Chain A
Amino acid sequence: MELDPIHQFEIYPLIPLRIGSLDLSFTNSALFMVLIVVLTSGFLIYATTRRGLVPSRLQSVAEISYEFIASTLRTSAGHEGMKFFPFVFTTFMFILIANLLGMFPYFFTVTSHIIITATLSLAVMAIVVGYGFKKNGLGFFRLFLPHGIPMWLAPLIVFIEVLSFLSRPLSLSLRLFANILAGHITLKVFAGFVVMLGTAGFLGFLGAALPLAMTIGLTALEFLVAFLQAYVFAILTCLYLNDAIHPGH
């Protein structure tokens, strides 16, 4: 069981809660979601208590994260996109902190469950479609027919565009889920090799250095992936929001 790479993804209830036939228990996953909210909110609020004109280190971290998302959103969705800034910021921070918390040994990774990533990406798509229709009415359908396309090509283009639009929530959720899942499994497998070889005599002890080096490298890579996947999710959200704001390409 100790070397089972799947064990880390298991969900177990901490506070059982059952309404009708629905199991709504407060699980380890829920605990980490609460932890994400408490840690991130606590950090951002604590870091900005001094409101220094010249920022302290913590305050500049808060400012950098703010300006990073703000500039990403502004460059990809324009000034009008800034009304979605709280949403994009929340999404980015939630995923980033979920991924980073998952890097701690024995910690649960919220984003390693498809239901979480799927819900987040469906929320993004719901906002895109909802705002797109609210702002542009039926003009939102222009999204599927870019300007300057010959009419005889239109059916094909519309088909492709609709298909690509529908595949967005799928790719958005699977990319994050699969990256985090695969990374954590790989990490666990290589770390397991270290233990297995290390306890298998002298030669095995020497041989364990190889997977150990691999584990160290993979850990660094996973930190990169943790940030990168949160960023990819955020920037794609920005691009999709841009489609909702300016559907005429």
Chain B
Amino acid sequence: MEGQLIIAQAEVPEAPAPIEPGAPAAPLVDTPPLEPGGEELHTEVGAEEHGATFPPFDPTFFASQLLWLAITFVAFYLIMQRVALPRIGAILEVRRDRIAGDLDRAEQLKRESDAAIAAYEKSLADARSKAFAIAEDSRKKASAAAEEQRRENETALASRLAAAEGQIAAIKEKALAEVGTIAGDVAGTVVESLIGKRATADEIRAAVTAAGDR
């Protein structure tokens, strides 16, 4: 291997010799048949060189690599910048917008349902207070009516009481008035049976009155 390497390296300085006449020949004469010939010669030499020098450090194809790197990289850049990336970017943008839009819509729907709930709560509260007012009102009315009834009954009872009292008074008066006559009768009878002689009505009345006054 070492020997090979040395031999190969030794060949390298010799190698350019055939190229030199070939290279100027190309620009001088435009005849195509000459070029491939020079090229073949060159590749043969190249192959020999590759056995010796480490390919990544071999400058034979540096210019070619630079050129093709520039061409492909610039083309790649342009395709990415003009076509591929805007496409992917647009897809992502559309998705982001759609998600944001959906979130907005959800937010709006939530607001609407909140408003509906608030309205429902309010009407419920209204109905409740209305019902309370109605109940209160009817309770008041009922109690007023009851009061009225009670008052009426009271007055009726009072009048009946008064009438009854009057009647009692009249009966009492009448009874009291009759007490004098009964007392006179009794007194007359008692006096008659005691003394055998009838007392005059005036005498008896006077006596009864005197006794009643005492």
A: which residues have CB within 8 A of B? Answer: 6, 9-13, 16-18, 20-27, 29-30, 33-34, 36-37, 40-41, 44-45, 48, 51-53, 55, 59, 62-63, 66-67, 85-87, 89-90, 93-94, 112-116, 119-120, 123, 177, 181
Complex Cα distance A89/B77, Å?
9
B90 surroundings in chain A (CB, below 8 A): 51
Do the beta carbons of B54 and A90 come within 8 Å of each other?
A: no
- Which of A20, A23, A52 is B61 in contact with, Cβ under 8 Å? A23
Do the beta carbons of B68 and A27 come within 8 Å of each other?
A: yes
Do the beta carbons of B88 and A66 come within 8 Å of each other?
A: yes
Interface residue range, chain B:
35 or more
Q: Which residue of B lies closest to A47 (CB)?
A: B88
Complex Cα distance A51/B84, Å?
12
Docked complex: B1-53 residues within 8 A CB-CB of A:
23, 26-27, 35-36, 38-39, 42-43, 46-47, 50
10 A-B contact pairs sorted by A residue (CB < 8 Å)? A11-B58, A11-B65, A16-B43, A18-B26, A18-B35, A18-B38, A114-B56, A114-B57, A116-B69, A119-B70
B23 surroundings in chain A (CB, below 8 A): 21
Do the beta carbons of A25 and B64 come within 8 Å of each other?
A: yes
Do the beta carbons of A23 and B91 come within 8 Å of each other?
A: no
Which of B57, B69, B90: most chain A Cβ within 10 A?
B69
Do the beta carbons of B76 and A94 come within 8 Å of each other?
A: yes
Nearest first, the 9 closest Cβ-Cβ pairs linking A and B are A30-B68, A86-B81, A33-B72, A9-B55, A44-B84, A16-B39, A66-B88, A37-B76, A41-B79
Q: A20-B26, A53-B98, A115-B65 are in contact. List 17 more A-B contacts (CB 8 A).
A: A9-B54, A9-B56, A20-B27, A30-B64, A33-B68, A33-B69, A33-B72, A44-B80, A48-B84, A51-B90, A66-B89, A86-B81, A90-B77, A113-B56, A115-B56, A120-B69, A120-B73
**Contact status of A45 and B73, CB under 8 A, knowing A10-B50, A23-B42, A26-B68:** no
Distance in angstroms from B181 CB to nearest chain A CB is 126
Complex Cα distance A119/B81, Å?
20
Do the beta carbons of A66 and B26 come within 8 Å of each other?
A: no
Q: Say yes or no for B92: interface residue by CB 8 A criterion.
A: yes
Do the beta carbons of B56 and A112 come within 8 Å of each other?
A: yes
Complex Cα distance A53/B93, Å?
10
Distance in angstroms from A32 CB to nearest chain B CB is 9
Do the beta carbons of A48 and B61 come within 8 Å of each other?
A: no
Q: Say yes or no for B172: interface residue by CB 8 A criterion.
A: no
Q: Which residue of A lies closest to B83 (CB)?
A: A45
Q: Say yes or no for B206: interface residue by CB 8 A criterion.
A: no
**Contact status of A67 and B92, CB under 8 A, knowing A11-B65, A23-B60:** yes
Interface string of B142-170 (1 = CB under 8 A from A): 00000000000000000000000000000
Q: Is the interface of A mostly helix, strand, loop or mixed?
A: helix
Do the beta carbons of B79 and A23 come within 8 Å of each other?
A: no
Distance in angstroms from A212 CB to nearest chain B CB is 26
Do the beta carbons of A89 and B80 come within 8 Å of each other?
A: yes
Distance in angstroms from A18 CB to nearest chain B CB is 6
Complex Cα distance A30/B69, Å?
7
A63 surroundings in chain B (CB, below 8 A): 88, 91-92
Docked complex: B72-114 residues within 8 A CB-CB of A:
72-73, 75-77, 79-81, 83-85, 87-92, 94-95, 98
- Which of B73, B75, B85, B98 is A66 in contact with, Cβ under 8 Å? B85
B194 surroundings in chain A (CB, below 8 A): none
A94 surroundings in chain B (CB, below 8 A): 73, 76
Do the beta carbons of B65 and A27 come within 8 Å of each other?
A: yes
Complex Cα distance A45/B39, Å?
38
Q: Which residue of A lies closest to B79 (CB)?
A: A41
Complex Cα distance A89/B62, Å?
25
Q: Say yes or no for B211: interface residue by CB 8 A criterion.
A: no
- Which of B57, B88, B95 is A53 in contact with, Cβ under 8 Å? B95
Do the beta carbons of A48 and B88 come within 8 Å of each other?
A: yes
Distance in angstroms from A46 CB to nearest chain B CB is 10
Do the beta carbons of B56 and A181 come within 8 Å of each other?
A: yes
